Amino acid sequence: MIVKMSQLDAETLQTVTAALEAMGGEVRCLRLPFGCFLAALGLADPPVGTIQAMAGVEWAKAAGSKPILASRELNPQGSRVPLGNLEIGGEALALVAGPCSVEDREQIFSTARFVAAYGATALRGGAYKPRTSPYAFQGLGQPGVELLREAGDAAGLPVISEVMDPGDVEAMAPFVDCFQIGARNMSNGPLLKAVGKAGKPVLLKRGPSATLAEFVLAAEYILLEGNAQVILCERGIRTFETATRNTLDLNAIPVLKSMTHLPVVVDPSHGTGRRDAVAPMARAAVAAGADGIVVEVHPDPSRALSDGDQSLHLPEFRRLAEELRPVAEAVGRRLDLPETLPFAPNQVPLIRRALGWGGSR
Ligand code: PEP
Ligand code: MN
């Protein structure tokens, strides 16, 4: 059962908590930006009416197979998740960019400086990589997380990185501004609980075969730990189509917006798997109301250790940022790009040298 409290004094909270515990529930008090809630878990057939009638209770709902805390009705104006200088879910769009994997210092620093110069609002790079083949590059692990942090600091960007094991959350937490839960782990309960407890923003990617209802329920796990800073990321689903790596489900944007108050961003890199489709689908996602875009960018995609085929070249990222701006404005949003962009696309060799990208591999 979830109980919304209208009176927040310690005595009232204690009285209602005691009543829920007497029914056999495990009770936790959740102070979320849109209200204070008591969650009583483990009650098979909770007497909702009894709790509803208690002083200081606004409402009580029996929890079942539907999300409550993540549902749109709890915060109809929509939630905003702060990340760096931006509030994701606000008028300004998030532009999250970076390589699939952090590979080495030069690669991550040059990418970070470049995407920051062209309007990225956060730097994303994987250090723990969920790879299909156990023989593929698995990421640099914790040293990669720390390199990402250094590169983010040098470029003035907050950083996002994927966590795959609840046991890594504590070591990663001081170095990341936002945890990513990858598609393969969307329904990993222990991992969702661990990032919920960490109290930092979470970029939650949709599982490749998860329904939208399952996706929002996965977010509910994080909210149930008292952490409402969840950003949902549509990244493509598995269909019969083989011309693209996944099928980017843009239906998810308006439908999720009706189901949940959480911000929704779109990853057209994994959603398509092909560089030539990334920018068109990013534009489509912004037009459909996404709160941001997550794209993979690499200084030399032909030599990337993972996902090179879907990674944008640096000048393509610049072009994308410029193309997204009018689309954002057409749908009443903003994309704040730096006023003077330092380089033109045909100056890329110069950029590479200026940023210290010598292409050493
Ligand atoms: C990634 O973000 O690099 C990644 C592995 O994505 P997904 O979990 O969506 O497959
Ligand atoms: Mn990737």
Q: What is the pLDDT of residue 27?
A: 98
- Which of 151, 153, 178, 181 minimizes the C-alpha distance to 165? 181
Give the closest ligand to the alpha carbon of residue 163. Answer: 1
Pocket test for ligand 1, best of 123, 231, 270 (most atoms within 8 A of CB): 270
Q: What is the pLDDT of residue 338?
A: 87
Q: What is the pLDDT of residue 359?
A: 47
Do 191 and 111 belong to one domain?
yes
Gyration radius (Cα) of the chain, Å: 21
Residues with CB under 6 A from ligand 1: 100, 126, 130, 182-184, 205, 235, 270
E strand residue ranges, 134-176: 159-162
Do 113 and 11 belong to one domain?
no
Q: What is the pLDDT of residue 44?
A: 86
Q: What is the pLDDT of residue 361?
A: 39
**Domain contains 360:** no
Please give the model's pTM, rounded to 2 decimal places.
0.95
Pocket test for ligand 1, best of 159, 180, 185 (most atoms within 8 A of CB): 180
Q: What is the pLDDT of residue 344?
A: 62
Atom of ligand 1 nearest to the CA of 184: 8
Do 294 and 334 belong to one domain?
yes
> Looking at residues 233-247, what average pLDDT do you find?
98
Do 180 and 279 belong to one domain?
yes
- Which of 312, 327, 354, 264 minimizes the C-alpha distance to 78? 264
**Domain contains 22:** yes
Helices (H) and strands (E) in the chain, counts: 12, 14
**Domain contains 121:** yes
**Domain contains 170:** yes
Q: How far is the CA of 45 from the centre of ligand 2 (A)?
A: 43
Give the closest ligand to the alpha carbon of residue 203. Answer: 1
Nearest residue by C-alpha to atom 1 in ligand 1: 100
Do 161 and 187 belong to one domain?
yes
Q: What is the pLDDT of residues 94-140, one digit of tens each?
A: 999 999 999 999 999 999 999 999 999 999 999 999 999 999 999 99
Do 235 and 261 belong to one domain?
yes
Q: Please, what's the b/e burial string for 27-58 (b: 16 or more CB within 10 A of its CB; e: otherwise)?
A: bebbebeeebbbbbeebeebebeebeebeebe
DSSP structural state of residue 302: G
Domains held by the chain: number? 2
> Looking at residues 4-24, what average pLDDT do you find?
97
d(CA 88, CA 111): 22
**Domain contains 102:** yes
Q: What is the pLDDT of residue 356?
A: 56
pLDDT over 70, % of the chain:
94
List 38's β-bridge partners, or say none: 3, 29
Please name the residue ranges forming H helices in 209-274.
212-223, 252-259, 268-272
Q: What is the pLDDT of residue 353?
A: 62
Do 270 and 154 belong to one domain?
yes
Q: What is the pLDDT of residue 340?
A: 64
Nearest residue by C-alpha to atom 9 in ligand 1: 183
Q: How far is the CA of 164 from the centre of ligand 2 (A)?
A: 14
Nearest residue by C-alpha to atom 10 in ligand 1: 183
Give the closest ligand to the alpha carbon of residue 238. Answer: 1
Do 32 and 163 belong to one domain?
no
**Which strand ranges, in their side-by-side order, compose the sheet holding 35-41?**
26-32, 35-41, 2-5, 57-61
Atom of ligand 1 nearest to the CA of 296: 3
Q: Quote the domain boundaries for residue 58.
A: 2-64
Q: What is the pLDDT of residue 360?
A: 43
**Domain contains 33:** yes
Q: How far is the CA of 267 from the centre of ligand 2 (A)?
A: 10
Q: Average pLDDT, whole number, for the chain?
A: 95
Q: How far is the CA of 359 from the centre of ligand 2 (A)?
A: 20
Q: How far is the CA of 334 from the centre of ligand 1 (A)?
A: 26
- CATH number for the domain that contains residue 105: 3.20.20.70
Nearest residue by C-alpha to atom 3 in ligand 1: 100
> Looking at residues 286-311, what average pLDDT do you find?
98
Q: What is the pLDDT of residues 245-297, one digit of tens each?
A: 999 999 999 999 999 999 999 999 999 999 999 999 999 999 999 999 999 99
Q: How far is the CA of 296 from the centre of ligand 2 (A)?
A: 7
Q: Are the CB atoms for 101 and 129 separated by under 8 Å?
A: yes
Q: What is the pLDDT of residue 45?
A: 87
Do 39 and 95 belong to one domain?
no
Q: What is the pLDDT of residue 200?
A: 98
Do 60 and 86 belong to one domain?
no
Do 260 and 303 belong to one domain?
yes
Q: How far is the CA of 341 from the centre of ligand 1 (A)?
A: 29
**Domain contains 361:** no
Q: What is the pLDDT of residues 85-94, one digit of tens each?
A: 999 999 999 9
Q: What is the pLDDT of residue 348?
A: 60
Q: What is the pLDDT of residues 49-70, one digit of tens each?
A: 999 999 999 999 999 899 999 9
Do 58 and 96 belong to one domain?
no
> Looking at residues 143-151, what average pLDDT do you find?
98
Q: Which of 21, 36, 64 is the C-terminal boundary of a domain?
A: 64
Give the closest ligand to the alpha carbon of residue 306. Answer: 2
Atom of ligand 1 nearest to the CA of 306: 3
Q: What is the pLDDT of residue 50?
A: 96
> Looking at residues 322-332, what average pLDDT do you find?
97
Q: What are the φ/ψ torsions at residue 193 (nearest 5 degrees)?
A: -65, -40
Q: How far is the CA of 98 from the centre of ligand 1 (A)?
A: 12
Q: How far is the CA of 260 from the centre of ligand 2 (A)?
A: 26
**Domain contains 130:** yes
Atom of ligand 1 nearest to the CA of 236: 9
